[in-house]
Structure 1
Amino acid sequence: MGHRKYLPRYHPYRLQKKNFDGKQEHGKPPQPLSGEAIYFKLKEMFFSSGKKCGKNNNEGGNDYWKRRSEFFELPYWKNLHVRHCLDVMHIEKNVCMNIVGTLLDLPGKSKDGMNSRLDLLEMNIRPELAPMVTELDALQEDIVMTLCNLEKYFPPSFFTIMVHLVREVKLCGLVYLRWMYPFERYMKVLKSFVRNRNRPERCIAEAQVCEEAVHFCSNFLSGLDEIGLGSLNSREEKQTDRPLSAGTYDRPDMQELKQAYLHILQNTEEVHPYIEEHMNHLKIENPRRAKNEQWLQVEHNRSFGAWIRDKVMCELHEGKVVSNTIRWLAHGPNCGVMTYEGYMVNGCSYHTKSRDDHRIVQNSGIMLVATTMQVSSAKDKNPVIGDMSFYGIIEDIWEVSYNTFNTVLFKCKWVENKNGVRIDDLHFTLVDLSRIGHSSDFFIIATHGQQVFYVSDPVDPR
C-alpha cells in the first residue's frame, strides 16, 4: 500500500484504517525525479551488466526488467520530463473488464479469487475477507512459496498507474491528442484492404495507392465527390424544406383556418407595423380599456384579420406602395390546404403523431420558445410579457396557400404550462402529455419549432 500519500493533505482516505493497511497516512508524496536521475538510477540497479535478464540469468537484479530500451541511448532522453506514454485506451479497457468481471463474478475475469484474498492476508488488512484455514491447507506448496515473494512477482498497482497518468496529463497536455484510439480505428481501415491473406502487406499497399489516386483525381473533376460521400445534390436536398409524404387536399374547419391565418400574420415581420397601428387604433377607439392589456390582446386577435384587409385596400386605392406579400396576406389564404404526414424542415424530419404510432422512431415531439403574455388569473389586468417554453405533439402538418407562396404550419397539441410542465431537482424537464392546454392557438410556423424527444419517466408514469 502506501499510495494514499499521493492524495490531497486532508483527504478522508488518509485517516481511514480498516479499509487499508490498518494505519493512518500522514506522509508526503516524493518529489518527481529528473530524467537524468532516473537514468542513472536505473542504470545502476538493472543495466550494470548490459546483458538481458532471463529466468536463470539475473545479473540485472530484478526479474521483471528483461532488456534496456534503445531510447536510453538517445542524448536528449535524460532531459525529457516524460519518458513513457501510458496508453489510456488499454487502461480503460483493462480496468473496465476487471471491474465488470469482479462485480458479475465472471469465470476467468473476476479478481476476487484466492490470490487476492491471500494478498489481503499478507498485507494484514480486511481480515473479514481472509480465506478459511481449511482452504489454506488445500493450497499447493508452490503457491505458498510465491506468497513469500509478492513484491518481486507482482506488477505495480493500478493506483500507481493513475498517479503517473495524472502527472503525464499535466506535463503532456490533453490525453485525446496522443492516445491509441485513432491508430486502432485506422488499423481497422487497413485490415479491410486485405483481400489475399497470403500477401496482406501487398494488399494494403495497393489499396492505399488506389485511395490516394482517387483522392488526387477528384480534385480535378468538377461536380463529383469521392466514394462514400454522396452527391452534392443529395446533400443539398437534405437541407431543403420539402414534404416527406404524399399530400392530401383538405378543406378544414373555418375557425381553425382563421386561427392559422392569425398566427401567420402575427409571425410575419412585414406585418409588425400594421400590428402596432391596430393596437393604437383599439386604444383610441376604447379609451376606458386602453390600460387593460388582456382585453386589448383578445380584441386584437378577434378583429385584426378583417382590419388589415380593409387597411390594405384603402392604401391601394390611395396609390400607396404595398408589397406583394402584404397584399396576398391581407387577402387571406385559400379555403383548402394540403396536409402531410411528414415534412423536412431545417434539416430535421418531422412526422405526425398518428404516423409515429406505427413506427419505432419518434419524430412528432415539438418545442417552441415564444414571447407571450403571462397572466396570473382571468382578472389579471396587468399581465407580464416574457419568453416561455411550450411542449407538444404534432397532430397535423398544413401547407397554407396564398397563391404566390405557401406557408408550412404544424398543428399541435400543447401541454398546459401551469400544471403540465415542471423541472425536477436534477434539472430534467418533466412533461405530462395528458394535460392539454392553449386550445386557442394550435399552430406554429414550422421553421420556428425545435424537435424534442419524449421518454417515459421510470419513477412517475405520467
Structure 2
Amino acid sequence: MDLPDICAREDLHLLADGVGPIPIWRLDASKKTKFFQWIIDDVKFHDGYASNLSYCVDDHSGRLAGMKSHDCHVFMQRLLPFAFTQLLPNVVHEAIAGIGAFFRDLCSRSLTVEGLHTLEDNIPIIICNLEKLFPPSFFDVMEHLPIHLPREAALGGPVQYRWMYPFERYMFHLKKKVKNLSKVEGSIVAQSINEETSHFSAYYFAPNVQTKARKPGRYDDGGVRPFYHTSVPDIFSQIGRLSGKKREVWFTDQEFNHIHTYILRNCDDVIPFEKIFDDQVSGAYPNMTEARKEEMKQTQYANWLKYYIKSAASRQEHYPTWFEELVGGPLSRAMAYPMYCTRGYVFIKRPGITNRKTVNYGVVVRTDSIDYYGEITDILEVEYPGVINLKCILFKCDWYDPRVGRGVRLTKYGVTEINSTKQLRKYDPFILASQAAQVCYIPYPQVGVRQYPWITAHQINPRSRVDGVKEKEPLQQIAVNEITQVDQSVGDIPLVDIENIELEEIWENAEDEEDGEEFDDQNDSASSDYSSDSE
C-alpha cells in the first residue's frame, strides 16, 4: 500500500478498493499450464544430474514446491536462460535470463580473470534491468548480494570449494546415525566409531571381497583396461563397461567399409600411412580437388593400405601382428549393447518409445572447426579376427546439421540451440566412444500449435569426476566461457499487461498467504537424494 510513496510508477499502484493491474511478468492461466506441462513432459536431464522436476509441480496451487537446493540451482542456471523466451515479453525474458546466466557462469568449475571482469561489469546492468520491471518490495539485501559475488570469486576462487553444500551433505550423513533421539551426540559418536572400525577392518579382507568402501558405483566402468599380450593403440584399450542384453548385428557393405576406414583414420599409428596415400594421390592427380580427394580416401584408402602392408616384405619392412590384423579389417558382424559406461558417463542408446525420466543418448563431438550434435542409435563392439583379437567400441548416431546459423546457433546468454528439423546430409554415422561427450536436449515450451523447431543442448560434466586439466583449457562447457556484454534496456517499459483486462485482487491473495504456513511439510519433503553439487 505504500508503493505510491516510494515509487513513481503509477501503473503499478493499487486502487482504493485494493485491486491492481496485472503486471507483464505474470503468466496467465494458459501459459502457466503450458509451462508446468513442459516441466512434466520435456525437461529431462542425465541420470544422476538432478531429481525429477515433474514431482515438484503442484497443479492445484499452481506453483513449484518441494525443490531441493540442487534443483533450484539446476532450474536457475540451466532453464531460466531460455525457459520464458516465448512465454513472457522479451524485456522480461532478457532480465530473467541475464541473472540465470550470471549464476551459471559464476558457478562453473573454472574461472578466468577476463570472465570475472565481464561478470563484474554485467551484474549491475542485470540488477538495473530487474529494478525497471519489478516493484521495490521485490528487492532486499539478497538481490543486492550478487553485486559482490564476482569480486569474492576473484579473491577466493571457484565457489565449489567455499559454499555450504558439502557440509550440509555431511550433516545429513551424521543425522542418519542417530538411533536414540534422547542421546543425539552420543549416537553420532558411537556410530562414527563403528564406521571407522568397519573401514579399518575392510583393509584386511581379500581384494575380491566386496565391502561398503569397495562397493562400485551405480555406473562403474570397471576401472581396468582390456588386456592384450602386446601393446596396442589407445582406441583399443579404453576403460569401459558394456551392459544390458546384447544382440548380434551384421554390417552392410557401406557400413563395413565406413567403419574400417574410420578406425584406420582415427588411429594415431596409421597417420603416417595416410600421408603417404595423400602424396601418391596428389602426384598422380595434381589437379584433383580436395573434395574429390576426400571421397577417394573414403572409398579406396583401406584397400590401398592393405595392399601396401602385404607388399612390405618386398621392401624389407616388418610390422607388428596387431597392425596387420587392423589393416585386414574387422569382422562383418558385431555385438550391440543398450548401455555403455565410461569416463564417468553412462551412454544409453535412443529408445523407440519409453517413459524414462532421464535422457542419456545425446552426444557431441568437438573438432577444431565444428561441433557435431547427435543421438546414439546403437552401441557396437567391433572385433578384429586374429591372434591379438582387437576390440573397440563405436557409437552409431543420427547427426543434426552442424552448420552454424542453419543447424546450430548460440544465444547471447550462452545457450546452444539445435535445429531439430535439419539433419547431416553426409553419411558419417559412426564415432569412437572415446570421442563422445554427453549432452541432453531440452525443447522450448510449446506455445502455439506447431512445435518450435529449435531445441537447446546442454553439456554436463560427468558426476564425481574431474579429468586432468590442460594448459588454458577450462573444465566447463565452452559456451559458458563465451560471456557477452549485457545490454541495458532503455526507454519506457510498459509494466502492465494491456492484453489482460482483468484486475488482481491483492487483498484476498495477501490474506490467503498469511493464513498459510510459510514452511509446510510438503515443501520440506525431499524430492531427491541430491543436494547442491558442482556441475
TM bucket (normalised to shorter chain) is: 0.5 to 0.7
Contact 2:221 2:344 in 1 (8 A): no
In structure 2, what is the equivalent of residue 450 of structure 1? 437
Alignment of 1:368 with 2:353, yes or no, is no
Contact 1:392 1:433 in 2 (8 A): no
Contact 1:399 1:409 in 2 (8 A): yes
Contact 1:214 1:226 in 2 (8 A): no
SS of alignment partner, residue 328 of structure 1: helix
Change over 3 Å in CA distance of 1:216–1:254 after alignment to 2: closer
In structure 1, what is the equivalent of residue 351 of structure 2? 354
Q: Which residue of 380, 384, 401 maps to 2:383?
A: 401
Deviations 1:329-384, CA, capped at 9 Å, x for gaps? 221121212222222232321111126745221111010013xxxxxxxxxxxxxx
Whole-angstrom distance in 2 between the partners of 1:345 and 1:181: 27
Q: Which residue of 163, 177, 180 maps to 1:193?
A: 177
The offset of 1:225, in angstroms, is: 8.2
Instruction: Count residues in correspondence.
Output: 292
Change over 3 Å in CA distance of 1:228–1:213 after alignment to 2: closer
Alignment of 1:389 with 2:371, yes or no, is yes
Q: Which residue identity lines up with residue 422 of structure 1 in the other structure?
A: R
In structure 1, what is the equivalent of residue 309 of structure 2? 312
Change over 3 Å in CA distance of 1:319–1:429 after alignment to 2: same
Whole-angstrom distance in 2 between the partners of 1:428 and 1:300: 37
Q: Which residue identity lines up with residue 291 of structure 2 in the other structure?
A: Q
Structure 1: which 5+ runs fail to align? Answer: 1-15, 21-88, 90-128, 130-157, 371-385
Q: Which residue identity lines up with residue 365 of structure 1 in the other structure?
A: G
Q: Which residue of 426, 431, 440 maps to 1:439?
A: 426
Whole-angstrom distance in 2 between the partners of 1:295 and 1:254: 21
Contact 1:356 1:363 in 2 (8 A): no
Whole-angstrom distance in 2 between the partners of 1:458 and 1:234: 32
Contact 2:363 2:374 in 1 (8 A): yes
Whole-angstrom distance in 1 between the partners of 2:160 and 2:329: 58
Deviations 1:303-337, CA, capped at 9 Å, x for gaps? 11111111010003444111223211221121212
In structure 1, what is the equivalent of residue 411 of structure 2? 424
Q: RCO higher in 1 or 2 (8 Å CA, sep ≥ 6)?
A: 2
* Structure with higher helix content: 1
SS of alignment partner, residue 444 of structure 1: strand
Change over 3 Å in CA distance of 1:288–1:236 after alignment to 2: closer
In structure 2, what is the equivalent of residue 86 of structure 1? none
In structure 1, what is the equivalent of residue 129 of structure 2? none
SS of alignment partner, residue 439 of structure 1: coil
Q: Which residue of 426, 450, 461 maps to 2:452?
A: 461
In structure 2, what is the equivalent of residue 415 of structure 1? 400
The offset of 1:270, in angstroms, is: 1.1
Whole-angstrom distance in 1 between the partners of 2:281 and 2:162: 68
Contact 1:259 1:440 in 2 (8 A): no
Contact 1:241 1:347 in 2 (8 A): no
TM-score normalised over the length of structure 1:
0.54
Instruction: State the superposition RMSD in angstroms.
Output: 4.0
Whole-angstrom distance in 2 between the partners of 1:388 and 1:416: 11
Larger Rg: 1
Q: Which residue of 178, 193, 215 maps to 1:230?
A: 215
In structure 1, what is the equivalent of residue 323 of structure 2? 326
Map 1:22-33 → 2, pairs under 5 A: none
Deviations 1:50-85, CA, capped at 9 Å, x for gaps? xxxxxxxxxxxxxxxxxxxxxxxxxxxxxxxxxxxx
Contact 2:244 2:337 in 1 (8 A): yes
Whole-angstrom distance in 1 between the partners of 2:280 and 2:244: 44
In structure 2, what is the equivalent of residue 255 of structure 1? 254
TM-score normalised over the length of structure 2:
0.47
SS of alignment partner, residue 312 of structure 2: helix
The offset of 1:217, in angstroms, is: 4.4
